[in-house]
A and B are shown apart, each in its own frame.
Chain A
Amino acid sequence: MRSIFKTSAAALAAATMLSGAAYADGHGVSGPLRIFSDMSNPAPRAVMEGMVARFTEANPGVEVELVITDREAWKTQIRNVLQSGTADIVNWYAGNRMGPYVEAGLFMEVSELWETGGLTETLASTLGAMTMDDGIWGVPYTYYQWGVYYREDIFAELGLEAPATWEQELANCEVIVASGRACYTIGTQFLWTAGGWFDYLNMRTNGYDFHMSLTAGEVEWTDPRVRATFDNWATLVNMGGFIADHQSYSWQEALPFMVNGEAAAYLMGNFAVAPLREAGLTDDQLGFYQFPQIDPAIEPGEDAPTDTFHIAANAENVEAAEAFLLFVASAENQTLINNGDNLGQLPVNAGSAVDDDEFLNAGFEMLSNNAGGGIAQFFDRDAPAEMAQVAMQGFQQFMVDPSTLDQVLEILEGARQRIY
């Protein structure tokens, strides 16, 4: 390790001056606090701005400087922001997606804050997802369930019930296909939607623990158990279960198929509910069920991606940043920001209340009582970035042409041996 490229030393001078100022006001925090957020969609933006307003009201000494970046662009910009030392607090995701920044020492370790703030109890459900390298690196502010959103009216018309087992699922799908519809809509142009399907099929076929070993690189992709997962997937693909040409659509472009009734269901995160409602589907038409069981001996694992706040390791105002993290994690704040008028998602804090919404209730119930296997983040957050990229390309390739499975698995296995 050698220092070759240098950044300005001015940051240091500023840091020493500021930490002096922060102590000026006994236990209260003060000084400038620079927050870089990726909550750029209209509702999340309002939530972020609301949180800053309430935080500054409670801590009048703090002047928050809020920069909101486009959510997609942030996925690459975070590298520059963390390294240039322009932020105290940043948004990111739980799970392996934290990996590069934790390893490079760009996130600040916050285990002590979790202990002193009582977060180890209130946020216990995500402790595992926030832990890496024996440390805790941030706090979660929201998460959401994944599952099957379906057209209740189409199911009723065809005389179908929401399936609980794989046999029922396939039987349902046969009826739906025979009625001239696809069972599922999906848009795989940006790949990750196929990752959701793989997560569920693999967790149901082989279990949560196996899925985690696979994403951790401990199992070969050519393993017969992985093949079993793909065989189940191929059954659905070959019977015409998915809409045609899905490789040309984004997840939003796949929504109209469900709205128009050309497809009966969508495996998606809870964020799909808002656009489906906006497109005119009523709660009578729209239903939710947990992804059906495949092997009855296996406890169901679920995907529930968690979004987070972190302190930058080169933060200039650590005291205020910690106060902000505690504020974000509080039960009161999480109840408010996750309600139907705001994010419309699930609060992480065990003391928060879930807003009275059909889908939020269903999701909360499912994650609390029916996810005995464990809670995964999502394929591209559980697997390392490079593996996620190549594997999701493979999933798309496989969905377009299941006969290429052998080639796909060989490429993924080659990538696994190189990456881990």
Chain B
Amino acid sequence: MTRVTTETPQRRRKMSQQAIAPWLFLLPASLFFATYVLYPIIQSFYISLFEWNGLYSLQYRGVEGTGFTDLQCLELGNRAGREDGCELTGDTLWNADYVGMENYRTLYTDPFFWTSLKNNVKWLLLYLLAIPAGLFIALFLNQKIAGMRLYKSLFFFPFVLSQVVVGLVFSWFFLPGADDGLLNVLLGKFGIGPFNILGHNSTATYGIIAAGLWPQTAYCMILYLTGLNAVDPEQIEAARLDGAKGPKMLWYVVLPQLWPATFIAIVVTVIGALRSFDLITIMTNGGPGFYNTSVLAFYMYDVALSEFGFRMGYGSAIAVILFLIMMVYIAGFLWKMWRDEKV
């Protein structure tokens, strides 16, 4: 009897400790995630239902004894600050009009939105070229030669540069004059050109993607280099004894073992393509003409936050669409992680 009564509470306490501990460890991360990721996402959804120029007004209240009421101060609007009977409350007013799904309807008929979406698709597809290119360079660099560390770091160098610097370097590389930009100087030696790649609607986006591929290839290369370290030498040896070499060895023996690296490379490249904003801002500023090199992220910034951007609700609607597109990839990523862990 006594044993029973002394043992049960102890066990219960132990169990509850074990049950609470993981939640306690998760708590700080969850708090930050909720504040800086979840809340803004929900807020974007909410704001996208409004028409709002991004500005809050100041709130005034009537000073007692002057005969002014809060309502009168509100009606004075932008003159209330000049009225002694009205004083600042320290709060702000949110001047937004509820428009329901109107922003999304406008998006549907907005040609610039579709231009941006089309460019996003171009980015997504062409950016994936960074993966085979990174693999190729990684295979090439995965040798034991004197000074290989130096070569590796040189190849990795573009990834260390800020995107802004990459954009500047490439916009100089593409400069239109026959003897200004390096590209046109080189082409000139073969009697071709000059071309103004960033100045024409048909080529500008591809020019920017080319600039983006430079650091992205370096990133994929690093992923593959670390992946190659994990390739099992015994399997290579066994395959060699069976007579596998060249492309067959790569395809059937090496690549399957590199799958984890490939998977991460695809994920970061897709997300990198969807985030492509800095290069566009630096290299073409969305032009030439009407948003011809814009992508959704750029268009969102331009309508909501830029020098002339005062359409916060509309920008939020674009953000929501971009979020939904990203969600497809993120969901796929989570699903795969979940499946892998179950095995």
B-binding residues in A (CB < 8 A): 1-13, 15-16, 72, 75-76, 79, 82-83, 100-109, 112, 133, 135, 189-191, 244-245, 247-248, 313-314, 380, 385-386, 388-390, 393-394, 396-397, 400, 404, 411, 418
Once A3-B93, A386-B311 are accepted as A-B contacts, the answer to whether A76 and B306 lie under 8 Å apart by CB is yes
B155 within 8 A of A: no
- 28 residue pairs of the A-B complex, CB under 8 angstroms, read A2-B94, A3-B59, A3-B93, A8-B90, A9-B91, A12-B88, A76-B307, A104-B55, A104-B78, A105-B80, A106-B55, A133-B78, A191-B285, A247-B288, A313-B58, A313-B81, A314-B58, A314-B81, A385-B309, A386-B310, A390-B290, A393-B289, A393-B290, A396-B288, A397-B290, A404-B289, A411-B290, A418-B106
- Bitwise interface map of B from 63 to 89 toward A, beta carbon under 8 Å scored 1, else 0: 000000000001001111110000111
Q: B91 touching A3 by the CB < 8 A rule?
A: yes
Which residue of the partner chain B has the closest CB to A418? B106
Residues of B within 8 A of A411 (CB): 111, 290
Complex contacts, A247 vs chain B, CB 8 Å? 196, 199, 287-289
Question: A7 contacts B310, CB within 8 Å?
Answer: no
Contact status A135-B79, CB under 8 Å: yes
- Complex CA gap A248/B92 in Å reads 42
Given contacts A2-B94, A10-B90, A104-B55, 11 further A-B contacts (CB under 8 A): A5-B56, A6-B91, A13-B90, A104-B57, A105-B77, A107-B78, A245-B196, A247-B199, A247-B287, A248-B175, A386-B308
Given A12-B88, A248-B176, A396-B287, A106 and B196 contact (CB-CB distance below 8 Å)? no
The number of residues on chain B lying at the interface, defined by a beta carbon within 8 Å of a beta carbon of chain A, is: 48
Chain B residues, Cβ within 8 Å of A105: 57-58, 77-78, 80-81
Q: Please determine whether B92 and A7 come into contact, CB atoms closer than 8 angstroms.
A: yes
Which residues of the partner chain B approach A394 to less than 8 Å between Cβ atoms?
Answer: 289-290
The answer to the question of B100 belonging to the interface, with a C-beta cut-off of 8 Å to chain A, is no
Give bound CA distance, A9 to B310, whole Å.
Answer: 26
User: What is the CB-to-nearest-CB distance from A190 to chain B, in angstroms, rounded to a whole number?
Assistant: 6
Closest Cβ of chain A to B38, distance in Å, is 17
Per-residue CB proximity of B151-172 to A under 8 Å, as 1/0? 0000000000000000000010
Establish whether residues A1 and B95, one from each chain, have CB atoms under 8 Å apart when the complex forms. Answer: yes
- Point out the residues of chain A lying under 8 angstroms from B56, CB to CB: 5, 7, 83, 104
The 6 tightest CB contacts between A and B, nearest first, are A397-B289, A105-B78, A12-B90, A389-B308, A245-B176, A9-B90
Inter-chain CA distance A107–B55, complex, in Å, is 12
The answer to whether A11 and B93 touch across the interface, beta carbons within 8 angstroms, is no
**How many Å from the CB of A242 to the closest CB on chain B?**
13
Chain A residues near B287 (CB-CB < 8 A): 189, 191, 247, 393, 396
State which of A1, A79, A106, A404 has its C-beta within 8 Å of the C-beta of B94.
A1
Query: How far, in angstroms, from A330 to B196 measured CA to CA in the complex?
Result: 50
Contact of A248 among B55, B94, B199 (CB under 8 A): B199
> Smallest CB–CB gap between B225 and chain A, Å?
37
In the complex the two chains form, what is the Cα distance from A389 to B307 in whole Å? Answer: 9
B155 to chain A, nearest CB (A): 30
Shortest distance between the CB of B56 and any CB in chain A (Å): 5
Contact A103 B94 (CB under 8 A): no
Asked if B177 is at the interface (CB within 8 A of a chain A CB), the reply is: yes
Please tell me if the beta carbons of A100 and B55 are within 8 angstroms of each other in the complex: yes
**A393-B291 in contact given A1-B93, A6-B91, A108-B82 (Cβ < 8 Å):** yes
Q: Report chain A residues within 8 Å CB of B106.
A: 418
CA distance A247 to B106 in the complex (A): 29
Q: Is the CB of A7 within 8 A of B306?
A: no
A404 to B111, CA, bound (A): 15
Smallest CB-CB separation from B286: which chain A residue? A393
Contact A245 B199 (CB under 8 A): yes
Q: Which residue on chain B has the smallest CB distance to residue A250?
A: B285
CA A13 to CA B288, docked complex, whole Å? 50
Could you tell me the distance between the alpha carbons of A265 and B198 in the complex, rounded to whole angstroms? 25
Does the CB pair B94–A5 fall under 8 Å?
A: yes
A190 near B285: Cβ-Cβ < 8 Å: yes
Of all chain B residues, which has the CB nearest A189?
B285
Chain A residues with CB under 8 Å of B53's CB are 100, 104
> Is B260 part of the contact surface with A, judged by Cβ < 8 Å?
no
B residues within 8 A CB of A104? 53, 55-57, 78, 95
For A102, list chain B residues within 8 Å (CB).
78
Q: Which of B194-234 contact A (CB under 8 A)?
A: 196, 198-200
Contacts of A72 in B (CB 8 A): 307
CA distance A189 to B287 in the complex (A): 7
Report how far A104 CA is from B81 CA in the complex, Å.
12
Interface: B276 (CB within 8 A): no
Closest to B97 in A: A1
- Interface membership of B305, Cβ < 8 A: yes
Complex Cα–Cα for A3 and B90 (A):
11
- Which A residues lie within 8 Å of B306 (CB)? 76, 389
Which residue, of B74, B199, B284, has the highest number of chain A Cβ atoms within 10 A? B199
Q: Does B54 contact A (CB under 8 A)?
A: yes
Does A15 contact B88, Cβ atoms closer than 8 Å?
yes
Select from chain B the residue with minimum beta-carbon distance to A110. Answer: B82
Per-residue 0/1 for B306-342: is the Cβ within 8 Å of any A Cβ (1 yes, 0 no)? 1111110000000000000000000000000000000
Residue numbers in B under 8 Å from A388 (CB-CB): 308
Which residues of B are found within 8 Å of A385, using beta-carbon distances? 307-310
Mark each residue of chain B from 284 to 305: 1 if its CB lies under 8 Å from any CB of chain A, else 0: 1101111100000000001001
Contacts of A248 in B (CB 8 A): 171, 175-176, 196, 198-199
Minimal beta-carbon separation of A394 from chain B (angstroms): 7
> What's the nearest-Cβ distance from chain B to residue A5, in Å?
6
Closest A residue, CB atoms, query B284: A189
State A249–B240 Cα separation when bound (angstroms). 57
Q: Is the CB of A100 within 8 A of B310?
A: yes
Identify which of B90, B93, B290 contacts A2 (C-beta below 8 A).
Answer: B93
Question: Chain B residues with Cβ under 8 A from A244's Cβ?
Answer: 176, 196
Q: In the complex, A51→B291 CA distance in Å?
A: 42
Measured CA separation A133–B78 after assembly (Å) = 9
